[in-house]
Amino acid sequence: MSKSNGSQSSVKNIVFAGLGGQGVLKASDIAATAALLAGFDVKKSELHGMSQRGGSVTSDVRYGDLVRSPMVPSGEADILVVIAPDQIEVNRWQLREDGLLIEPSLIDLDALTNKKSLNVALLGVLSASSSIAKEHWTQAIREHLAEKLHEANFAAFDLGRTAAQREQRQ
Amino acid sequence: MNLSDRLLLSGDEAVALAARHSGVALMTGYPGTPSTEILETFVELGGKGQWAPNEKVALEVAIGASFGTARTMVTMKHVGLNVAADPLFTAAYAEVAGALVVVSADDPGMASSQNEQDNRHYAVAAGVPMLEPADSQEAYEYTRLAIEISERWLIPVLLRLTTRVCHAKTIVDAPDSRPELSEPSYTPEIARRVMIPANARPAHRRLRGKLAEMARWNEDVGPNLEIAGDRSLGIICSGVSYMHAREAAPDASFYKVGMTYPLPLAAIARFAKSVDRCVVIEEGDPWMVDAIRASGTAVQGKSPMYRFGELNVSRVRRILSHDESQEPVPPRGKPPELCPGCPHRSVYAALKNLGCIVQGDIGCYSLGALPPYEAMETLVCMGAAIGMGLGLRHVLPSEEARRVVSVIGDSTFVHSGITGLVEMVYNPPPDGHVVLILDNGTTAMTGMQEHPGTGRTIDHKRTGKLVIEDLVRAVGIQRVHVIDPARDPQGFQDLVAECLASRELAVIIARRPCVLAAGKIKQLEKCLEQE
Ligand SMILES: Cc1ncc(C[n+]2csc(CCOP(=O)(O)OP(=O)(O)O)c2C)c(N)n1
Ligand code: SF4
């Protein structure tokens, strides 16, 4: 437990959502590790169990100078990353008013060499609006995925990141 | 802190790491969300760990190892402690030698459980000390502390975790400092370990004496944290509730209890007096608030509506502002389903066609209660399918009784179905009974763990295999069938119909591997054959 008394105001709240088997937990693991590598305090939390038999899955990642609760307070997500289009509406309530929704339509699916990397492509989009340096994201992907998957996922990450940067410039 | 020392670990992983660092010689357990990863990680880290057939056996093995001076831990989910309660209560009397730490992983909110029982009551009922970490760092530290306490007072220690401690990943700083431990050895202590009444009477007194000593220790140097903040609001809390509360009321004063039994009631009373308003924030039952009030200290609790489900920052804010308005209900997500091609699907399709009254049990196959099948009609606790089926068969009119079947998974059958079969042979219902053992070759629901029926250990090595059909025959069942329910669905359905019509005792073992585990099982078996 962190003993310091610092305030929590700087905490970034991200909720990942999708269906069992889509890599929701993998995506949140990568994001949490990237935040760790960037030197932040970080907490990540989700519900395992029955939810993984194709049902809805969500995972919370929070990072900043000091994080207390491992769960994003209801309706206070800064960013909601949804991997399954049909899970957007059931999870929208988690997003704060001016929060950012990151959804699959931002990605050119035809450009994805491996469809299973959609979760990582969305991380690429997320990375463009986070203060975590790209090298930390890359390192986190390396730590959480088997070596033979690295190339496809780096490509997916870049695809998402460029799409987001293009959008930001517009 | 050097960045390279910072590990992002779940509470389960942190417990496992602490067990390794403390020289735990043997860890036992039975899978159950959210506890499963503790034992799995311990084995991955090179520790000696083993799945037991059920939690009671797991604890008994650990008690024996502890009598042999080895440091031991036992892991289970909250309901597992119901199964292991019998040995726990008397192990508290019989003095342990090596540390014995019992991990109970509770599931407030029932992310993956059949009830949300609050196992803090067990610490009081059994008379064992209890530690409750708030995050992974504390999970690491308290595991090590539990071992010290256990060996200092020669008593089992309950390490109570909850879902958001087990499965939340938080940063851990864990310096590896392995103690020098001597080889396990055995010294008989008949008067202290043979709990016949003549020995148990003084043992009970000894236990109460230890608890009184531990209460004093907890008051003086226990792992409790007082944070002086604004004196207008004081919050007493423990476990992950501390994290929610500290965020909800960052300026308040806090008394965070780390060792929650025996409670440091004098320190709590002093704290309560030092603030204008003192509120107990706890998940689950009003357990701490009742104990504090019973000791004569006035504190506020929560409205009964917050007894249900987990706490979080928003709910703590509501508790603090006495908000009892209806809570927003988040939209329902997509419910889980049996995987496409799951062998349980064929079983439920047949039972539904035959109009069976299906007494059910716990595992992936519990999803047979949901659409599209809605075929499984009861679920109480592991192993109950057989007993409940027999009970119905005994009391229903014959034409209804003859439609009753019990379904039970392979891991669940080994866990607590065997005695149900013995009951079936000993007290057979007038029209017989049909039990289906759904043998998918793994403990699927909790993430594909091995069990005695797979013939492989936790780390997938070859070991003695429980052959379910041999056991069923040995119990005295004449009609035993082994069949793949998916290869010929009509043939399977006909077999069930034939067994029902026979009015005898019958066991059908529906054997086909879980589709998610099949590849891995094949690969493992191939490797083992080559060895
Ligand atoms: C006393 C107790 N211990 C553990 C659990 C968690 N749990 C429920 S069912 C189950 C085993 C499921 O395996 P199996 O019977 O083989 O069915 P499958 O999921 O493979 O279909 C486990 C570990 C529980 N509910 N109760
Ligand atoms: S994990 Fe296995 S047993 Fe469970 S639903 Fe899927 S196929 Fe069936």
* pLDDT tens readout for residues B322-339: 999 999 988 888 888 999
Residue A100 sits at the vertex; the CA angle it makes with A95 and A101, to the nearest 5 degrees, is 80
The pLDDT of A114-139, averaged and rounded, is 96
d(CA B149, CA B503): 57
Confidence of residue A34 (pLDDT cuts 50, 70, 90): very high
Is the residue at A4 inside a domain? no
> Within a domain: residue A5?
no
DSSP B249-289: STTEEEEEESEEES--HHHHHHHHHHSSEEEEE-SSSSHHH
C-alpha to C-alpha distances, B54 to B60, B416, B477, B514, nearest whole angstrom: 10, 7, 23, 21
DSSP β-ladder status, A12-19 and A56-64: antiparallel
pLDDT for residue B531: 81
pLDDT band at B6 (very low <50, low <70, confident <90, very high): confident
- Mutate which of B112, B338, B408 for ligand 2? The one with the most ligand atoms within 8 Å of its CB, which is B338
Q: Tokens 């809605």, residue?
A: B374
- Chain B residues within an 8 Å CB radius of A46: 167
Mean predicted confidence (pLDDT) in B452-475: 98
Q: How far is the CA of B449 from the centre of ligand 1 (A)?
A: 10
Residues 6+ apart with CB under 8 A from B529: none
Query: What is the dihedral angle through the alpha carbons of A76, A82, A87, A91, rounded to the nearest 10 degrees?
Result: 0
- Report the DSSP beta bridge partners of residue A58: A17
DSSP calls for B238-250:
ETTHHHHHHHHST
Question: Which residues, in sequence order, are bridge partners of residue B158?
Answer: B102, B130
How far apart CA B140 and CA B118 sit, in angstroms, is 22
More confident residue, B239 or A114: B239
State which H helix or E strand residue A95 sits in.
strand A95-102
Q: Report the percentage of chain B scoring pLDDT > 70.
A: 99
Mean pLDDT, range B222-243, rounded to an integer: 98
A111 CA to chain B: closest CA distance, Å? 28
Is the pLDDT at B344 greater than 90? The verdict is yes
Torsion region of B322: left, alpha or beta (phi above 0 gives left; psi -120 to 50 gives alpha): left
Question: What phi, psi does B183 have (nearest 5°)?
Answer: -55, 140
Tell me the average pLDDT across B368-396: 97
Do the beta carbons of residue B98 and residue B72 sit within 8 Å?
A: yes
Q: Give domain status of residue A22, yes or no.
A: yes
For residue B4, what pLDDT is reported?
A: 43
Classify residue A1: in a domain, yes or no: no
Going across the sheet that includes B277-281, the strands are B225-227, B252-257, B230-238, B277-281
Q: What is the dihedral of CA B322, B325, B329, B330, to 10 degrees?
A: -50
Determine, for residues B334 and A45 on separate chains, whether the beta-carbon distance falls below 8 Å: no
pLDDT number for residue A153 = 96
Mean pLDDT for B462-470 is 98
Q: Does A50 sit within 8 Å of B244, measured CB to CB?
A: no
pLDDT of B438? 98
Q: What is the pLDDT of residues A110-123, one digit of tens each?
A: 999 888 999 999 99
Structural domains for chain B: 3-221 (3.40.50.970), 225-320 (3.40.50.920), 344-530 (3.40.50.970)
Contact B510, B347 (CB under 8 A): yes
pLDDT at A30: 98
Other Cβ atoms less than 10 A from the Cβ of B38: the count is: 32
- Distance between CA B526 and CA A134 in Å, rounded? 42
Using a CB–CB cutoff of 8 Å, tell me whether A139 touches chain B.
Answer: no
- Hey, is the C-beta of A132 within 8 angstroms of any chain B C-beta? no
Mutate to test the pocket of ligand 2, among B337, B348, B448, B516 (most ligand atoms within 8 A of CB): B516
User: Residue B9 burial by CB count (10 A; 0-12/13-18/19+): exposed, middle or buried?
Assistant: buried
Residues of chain A with pLDDT > 70, as a percent, come to: 92
The Cα B248–Cα B236 span in angstroms is 13
Q: Read off φ and ψ for residue B217, nearest 5 degrees.
A: -60, -40
> What per-residue confidence (pLDDT) applies to A115?
87
Q: What is the pLDDT of residue A170?
A: 73
Average pLDDT, chain B: 97
pLDDT at A51: 57
Q: In 3-state terms, what secondary structure has residue B233?
A: strand
Asked whether residue B359 carries a pLDDT value surpassing 60, the answer given is yes
pLDDT at A47: 76
Ligand 2 atom nearest the C-alpha of B364 is 4
Grade residue A9 by pLDDT with cuts at 50, 70 and 90.
low
Given a cut of 50, is residue B1 above it in pLDDT?
no
Domain of residue A125, residue span: 11-169
Q: What is the DSSP letter of B300?
A: B
Token pair 């209801």: residue = A74
Query: Mean pLDDT throughout B500-525?
Result: 97
Report chain B residues whose CB lies below 8 A from the CB of A50: 111-112, 336, 367, 445
Given the CA of residue B362, which atom of ligand 1 is nearest to it? 9
How far apart are alpha carbons B444 and B439 in whole angstroms? 10
Would residue A162 count as lying in a domain? yes
Q: Is the pLDDT of residue B173 over 90?
A: yes
Q: Do A74 and B314 touch (CB under 8 A)?
A: yes
Among A38-52, B208-222, B466-480, where is mean pLDDT lowest? Answer: A38-52
For residue range B150-167, list pLDDT tens digits in order: 999 999 999 999 999 999
What is the arithmetic mean of pLDDT over B229-256? 98
Is the pLDDT at A3 greater than 50? The verdict is: no
Specify the CATH number for the domain of residue A155. 3.40.920.10
Q: How does pLDDT run across B394-425, given as a tens digit for each residue?
A: 999 999 999 999 999 999 999 999 999 999 99
Does A5 have pLDDT greater than 60?
A: no
Rounded Cα–Cα distance for residues B25 and B73 (Å): 9
Looking at residue B154, its amino acid is: L
Residue A36 lies in a domain: yes
What pairs with residue B6 in β-bridges? Answer: B173
Asked if the structure places residue A62 within a domain, the reply is: yes
Task: State the DSSP string of B412-460.
Answer: HHHHHTHHHHHHHHHS--TT-EEEEEEE-SSBTTTT-B--GGGTB-TTS
Whole-number Å distance, alpha carbon B138 to ligand 2 midpoint, is 35
**B406: enclosing H helix or E strand:** strand B404-409
Question: In the prediction, which pLDDT does B16 show?
Answer: 98
- In the predicted structure, residue B488 carries a pLDDT above the cut 60: yes
Residue A149 lies in a domain: yes
What is the 8-class DSSP label of residue B335? Answer: P
pLDDT of residue A52: 65
Distance CA B239, CA B135 (A): 8
Helix (H, G, I), strand (E, B) or coil at B487: coil
Q: Is A122's Cβ below 8 Å from some Cβ in B? A: no
DSSP state of B389: H
In the predicted model, is pLDDT for residue B495 greater than 80? yes
Query: Which ligand is the nearest neighbour of the Cα of B367?
Result: 2
| Domain total of chain A | 1
d(CA B397, CA B77): 38
**Distance from the alpha carbon of residue B370 to the mean position of ligand 1, in angstroms:** 17
Mean pLDDT (whole number) for A47-58 = 74
Instruction: List, for residues A152-169, the tens digit of each pLDDT value.
Output: 999 999 999 999 998 888
Angstrom distances, CA of residue A29 to CA of A32, B243, B261: 5, 21, 35
More confident residue, B178 or B437: B437
pLDDT value, residue A67: 98
Closest partner residue to A55 (CB to CB) among B240, B330, B335 is B335
